[in-house]
Chains A and B, each alone.
Chain A
Amino acid sequence: MLRVQNLCKTFNTSLFQKSVIAADNISFDVEFGSICGIVGQNGAGKTTTIRMILGILLSDSGSISIDGIDHIDKTIFGYLPEERGLYKKSTVWENLFYLGSLKLKDKSIIKSSINYWLERFDIKEYKNREIAELSKGNQQKIQFIASILHNPKILIVDEPFSGLDPLNQVLFKDILIELKNNGLAIIFCTHQLQTAEEICDSIVMIHQGKLALYGTIEAIKHKYYSDSYDIVFDDTNELQDFIIDKTFEALHVSSNKVRVSIPDKSIFTELLQKLSHYQSIVSIEKFIPSLLSIYTDIISSKHIN
C-alpha cells in the first residue's frame, strides 16, 4: 500500500510576494490492486502532490511510504504526465528504449516489453518512425507505453484520456483496469469526474492545497447527501404547494421533483405523514449523488470541514 501522510509544500513565488501553500497536510492511502482518483480544480495542488510522490519535488514535511518503507526506489513508479512530451526527432523505438533503460538494466526485458506493448496497442509498424510523424493519439499511446513498459508497482496517470478518440479511450480504460487487476496501485488524476466515478475505487479531492474529500466512492456518496430524498409528483400544483408549505426545506427542485433533507427517522415519519395529504405522489427514493454534484458542492465550500 502507498501511504501519503501529512504532506506539506510551500512555494515562495517571489521574495517580496506571499508564499503559496500548494499542499497542506495531504494524507491518503492507495491499495495495490486499486485505482485512486485525484480530482480538483486547476492549481488545487494535484500536480504538486504527484510530484512529491514521484520524488520530483521534496516535501517540506510529511512522509510517503510503500508497505511501511520510507525509502522509495523510483523504478517502482510509472508516470504519464498531463503535458505529453517525447523526443520528436527520435524514433518510437529510441524513445521507448531510452526511457525504459532509465528504469531497467536488462536490455532484453526492455526490448520484449516494448514489442509486447506496441503489439498490444496495435502500433508495431510505427516502431522505426520518428515521433513527429505520428498522430496525437499514437504519440499518447507511446507515452503510455513508456510509463508501463518496466512493469511498475505504482502507476500515476494524469489526464490519460485527453485528446483520445472514443475507441482509444475504451482501450486505455480497459488496460488501466487490467493493470489494476494485475495488482498495480494506480493514481488517476483527472477533471473528468464521470470517468473517475466509473473506474476509481477511491477518490482524493484537493481544494486550495487542502484535502477536501477522501474515501471510497461508496463511502463518499453515503457521507454526502445520505439524508436526502427525492419526491416525484405527478401534479405540479401539488409540488408547488409542498414547496410553499416549507415544512421541509427544498434542497433542489426540478420540473416534477423536489429533494428534501431527512436527517433522522422521526422526521422521515413526519414526512410520510405530510405526503399522505398529497394525491399525486409517484415515488419517494433516497438520493444517490453523482461525484460531479459532490465536487460542485465542495468547490462552492458547502462541505469543506
Chain B
Amino acid sequence: MNTNHIFQIAKWEFVQKAKTKAFILSLVLTPIIMSLFNIVPMILMNSITKETKRILIIDQTHFAGTALSTLLDSNKETEKHTIKTTLEHISPDSSINIKSYTDQIIQDKYDAFIILSSSLLKKREYDYYSLNISNISDFEVLEESVEKVITDTLLSLHNISKSTFQDISSQVKVNTTKIKTNGDVSKGNTLTEFIGMYGSLLIIIMMVTFSGQLLVRSLLDEKSNRIIEILLSSVSSIELMYGKLIGLGCLGLLQGITWLIFGLIASLISGFQSDIFAHIPFIFMYAILGYFYYASMLIGIGSTATTEQEAQNITGYIMMFTIVPFLFMMVIMDNPSGTVAIVCSYIPFLTPSIMSARIAVQFPNIIEIIISTITLVLSIGINVMISSKIFSIGILTYGKRLTFKEIWTIVRSKG
C-alpha cells in the first residue's frame, strides 16, 4: 500500500470539501442555528407586550372570591398577561346561569370567568371558562393563587399561623456534589449532566452523519463522472478507500472541534459548568472511532449506489443506528454503571454514543474504556475488510445497483 497515495487522496478530499461554501456555512451556521433555537423563543417571550386579561370571579363561598381577587389584582401577572378581576357574589343556594356568563365572554366583556363554588374547600376544585384554555402559564398562576386562598382560609379555620405553616411545609433542597473517580469533588446537578450528555451525543451524531453523507456523495460524484477510473488507474481501490475515509474524517474532526469551541464560548458566557469539558479527549476519541465505524460501513455499501436517491437511502438507513442511543439516555442517566449501560457499551454501533454519554454522567472504569475501544477498533477492522471487497466491485458498477445477494457473494469471495 502506497502511503503517499493515501495522503494525497485524503488531502484532496479534505481541502476540496473544506473550502466549499456549504461546509463553511455549516461550520458556523449550525451552532448559530442551534443557539437561535434556544435564544429566540426566550427573546420573543420577553419582548411581547403583556396584555390585560379580564377575569370575572363568580363567588358562591363569600370568603374566597375577595381574597383571590385581591391576590390576583395586587401581585399576580403571568408570563403573557397582567390580570384584572371583577368579583360577583352569588348566593350559595342559587343556581348559576352559565349561558349568561358565556355570552359575556363572546361579547368580549371578559376574557374568562371562574366559578368558586360553595364546595371549594371540600372538593378543592374550581371551574374556568374561556375562549382560550391552552395558556399553561395563566393556569399556573391561577392554580397557585386559588391554592393559597384555600390554604390561608384553612389555616385561619384551624388557628395555625402562616409562619408556622411555612416552617412545616417549606421544601427540602438537595445540594448535589459529584465525587470523581480520583477522589475530587465538584458541584453539579442533574440538568448539567443531562446537557453534557446530550451535547456529547449530538456532536458525535452530527460529525458522523455529516462526514458520512459527504463520503457517499463524493463517491457517487466520482462514479457518475467516471473520474473513478482515472483514479483507479493510478491508485488501488484500497488506497482510494483509506484516503477518502481519512480525508473526510479529518473534515468531521475540524467540524467537531469548531463546534466544541462554540460550545466552550457559550458555556463561558452562560456560566454553565460540566465535568464533560475535562473528558473531551475521550469524547473525541469515541467520536473519531464512531466516524470510522460508520464510515467504513458506508463506503462499502455506498459504493454500490448509482443515483443520488439510492445514496440518500443507504445513508439514511445506516445513520438511523446513530440515533438509537437516545433510547437509552434516561436509563444511562439513572444508572450509568448499570447492566444496560455496560452491555450497550460493548455493542460496536452503540459504543461511541453510549460511552460518551456515560463519560458525561459518570466517568466509567478505565478497563471498560480499554475493552470498548478494542472492541470498536476490531469492528472497524472487520468493516474495512468487508467494505474493501464491496468497494472494489461497487465503484465500477454503473447503471444497475448491486443486489443484496450479489453483495453477499462478493463478501464471501476469497479474492
Contact = CB atoms under 8 A, between A and B. Distances in A.
B365 interface: no
Contacts of A89: 16, 20
B8 A87 contact: no
A90 B235 CA distance: 20
Nearest to B415: A58
B235 A56 contact: no
B5 A102 contact: yes
B235 A87 contact: no
Interface in B1-52: 4-5, 8-9, 12, 16, 20
Range class of the B interface residue count = 20 to 34
Contact of B409 (A15, A54, A99): A15
B159 interface: no
Contact of A98 (B8, B222, B232, B396): B8
B309 interface: no
Contact of B233 (A54, A94, A101): A54
A55 B231 CA distance: 11
A15 B233 contact: no
B231 to A, nearest CB: 7
Interface string B221-252: 01001111111111110000000000000000
B225 A54 contact: no
Contacts of A101: 8
Contacts of A79: 229-230, 233
A81 B230 contact: yes
B395 to A, nearest CB: 10
A85 interface: yes
A88 B409 contact: no
A284 interface: no
A179 B61 CA distance: 108
A196 B403 CA distance: 39
B230 A85 contact: yes
Nearest to A80: B230
Contact of B232 (A15, A56, A88, A94): A56
Contacts of B409: 12, 15
Contacts of B222: 85
Contacts of A77: 233-234
Nearest to B227: A85
A72 to B, nearest CB: 12
Interface of A: 12, 14-15, 51, 54-58, 74-75, 77, 79, 81, 83-90, 94, 98-99, 101-103, 105, 143, 146-147, 156
14 contacts: A12-B409, A14-B405, A14-B406, A15-B403, A55-B233, A74-B233, A75-B234, A81-B226, A87-B225, A87-B227, A89-B16, A101-B8, A143-B230, A156-B233
CB-CB nearest 8 A-B residue pairs: A85-B227, A83-B226, A85-B225, A79-B233, A102-B234, A85-B226, A56-B232, A54-B233
